[in-house]
Amino acid sequence: MALNSVNNSHLHDVVFADRHYINKLAKLKDLINYLDKAPRLPNQNFFMLIRPRGFGLSLTNEAIESLLVRDEMLLDHLQNKLDNSLDLSDLGSYEVIHLSFSNPKANTLSSFMLILQETIQRQCWEHHVKNKGALALVSDLRQQMLFLICAISDNSKKQVVVLVDNYDVPIYSVRNIANPEERQQALALYFDMLSAFRQAGDRVKFCLLAGHVKFALSNNMSEGLPHIVDLSFSNIAATVMGFTIEEIKQSYEKDLARIAPQLGVTTSEYLDALQHCYGGFIFSDAKQEVLCPYSISRVLDNEGELYAYACDNHYTFLRQSLDEEEPDLNWLLDKDGQDQLFLEEVDLFPKGKQFGSLLLQQGFVSVKKITYPKADDHIMSWRYCYGLTNVEMQRAFKILMKQARPELRELAINPRIYHAGEEQYAIVSDKDHA
């Protein structure tokens, strides 16, 4: 299964295009079986997965859906790419509710509620659920979602899997609502809608919420989904998204052999440059490094030219939060003895150490060192040292923090001297800052 680039808006585009293909099927099946079958406490079938932009979260959810519903057209084409027969006998077969949130423009409580209602209505159309006006008579979003789940499960005689893309978008979009009380009411509406997944009981096999920021899923007005298993920093999901350097070396051998001489370096030197520019992402204590799929795809589309492609992302929530708070981040970078920050929740208006968690979740910062406790140590947990992830994210960070002008995005990265020329874009005065 190719999970590679946000350049491709749909999974079918990736599989049918025969470009930048790395097979992640085995790891994806392991993840699905973990979500489906791993031993757990009752009602612990709700999972979260946070990744930086460019790691193909939406494509991953599309792939999970395609495998669970047995999308024949996609699976037939995938079979043609495999050396062996495509075997899905070890995977369950379920109905899938796949919610996907883009950036809503709602700035009032009523417009926010309308967006959530329209999301449920689209699922009714996609699953051919005839509500006969039932939804129109129920203003409670939780009851509307519960009606949808029950109808799909009862009609198909199957359990339902719920996949949510960009689950965090409705949460941080609530910042657009000026009235603080209405903001909390809007969050409660969303959390109530999510709580239907739990209230549906055995009809829901499992639920996976994917996004770029970890927020709490309950507040004083709604219990929401208070118990979520976070797989964002775990071995089972560490390399499902993202390319290892070995995968790039094996899959793109011909491309690398052609590109490297054009840039005046050997293939080995070019691989090292890719690692320094786009690697360094670590999503488990096993410290398995992966590279950003979006950036690697952009590199290959650009005949191997190295740029800070991540600067094209808007990072709206992070940028707004930094501008409002102007936090001191000296405590975060290259300091030993830090807590595990990746799995911490971030408030709607972050403060203090939450900016460390936010920068980790957005990919600007990554784990550089883990200190494991010894038998005679007084510390009980592992400690971490964090640093800027790679050359690309260092440049994006400088622009975000207004330490460099946005034109730094246009400076090609020298595959031998990674930071050559960056000083020309440094902001050194108020005039440059403007």
* Strand intervals (E) in 350-415: 365-371, 383-388
| 16 phi and psi angles, rounded to 5 deg | -80, -15
Q: What is the pTM of this model?
A: 0.91
Residue 301: both structure tokens together: 């589309």
Residues 160 and 225 in one domain: yes
Encode 291-314: b = buried (16+ Cβ within 10 Å), e = exposed.
bbbbbbbbbbeeebbbbbbbbebe
Residues 305 and 273 in one domain: yes
Q: Give me the tens of pLDDT residue by residue for the chain, a chain 434 residues long.
A: 333 444 445 555 554 455 566 788 889 999 999 999 988 777 779 999 999 999 999 989 999 999 999 888 877 777 777 667 778 889 999 999 999 998 777 889 999 999 999 999 999 999 998 865 555 545 689 999 999 999 999 999 999 999 999 999 999 999 999 999 999 999 999 999 999 999 999 999 999 999 999 999 999 999 999 889 999 999 999 999 999 999 999 989 999 999 999 999 999 999 999 999 999 999 999 999 999 999 999 999 999 999 999 999 889 999 999 999 999 999 999 999 899 999 999 999 999 999 999 999 999 999 999 988 776 655 557 899 999 999 999 999 999 999 999 999 999 999 999 999 999 999 876 555 55
Q: How far apart are CA 401 and CA 411, in angstroms?
A: 18
Q: How far apart are the first and last CA of the chain?
A: 46
Residues 22 and 171 in one domain: yes
Residue 6 lies in a domain: no
Query: Dihedral angle at the C-alpha atoms of 28, 32, 38, 40, nearest 10 degrees?
Result: 120
Residues 346 and 431 in one domain: yes
Residues 208 and 355 in one domain: no
Host domain of residue 202: 11-236
Q: Match 């979500």 to its residue by tokens.
A: 35
User: If DSSP codes are grouped into helix, strand and coil, which group holds residue 192?
Assistant: helix
Residue 308 lies in a domain: yes
Residues 264 and 198 in one domain: no
Among candidates 299, 36, 23, 317, which has minimal Cα distance to 171? Answer: 317
- Which CATH number fits the domain that encloses residue 153? 3.40.50
Given 236, 252, 273, the domain boundary residue is 236
Residues 278 and 189 in one domain: no
Q: How far apart are CA 402 and CA 299, in angstroms?
A: 26
Residues 90 and 166 in one domain: yes
Given 236, 270, 304, the domain boundary residue is 236
Residues 183 and 282 in one domain: no
Residues 133 and 220 in one domain: yes
Residue 5 lies in a domain: no
Q: How far apart are CA 50 and CA 230, in angstroms?
A: 8
Into how many domains does the chain fold?
2
Given 219, 236, 253, the domain boundary residue is 236
Q: How far apart are CA 172 and CA 253, in angstroms?
A: 41
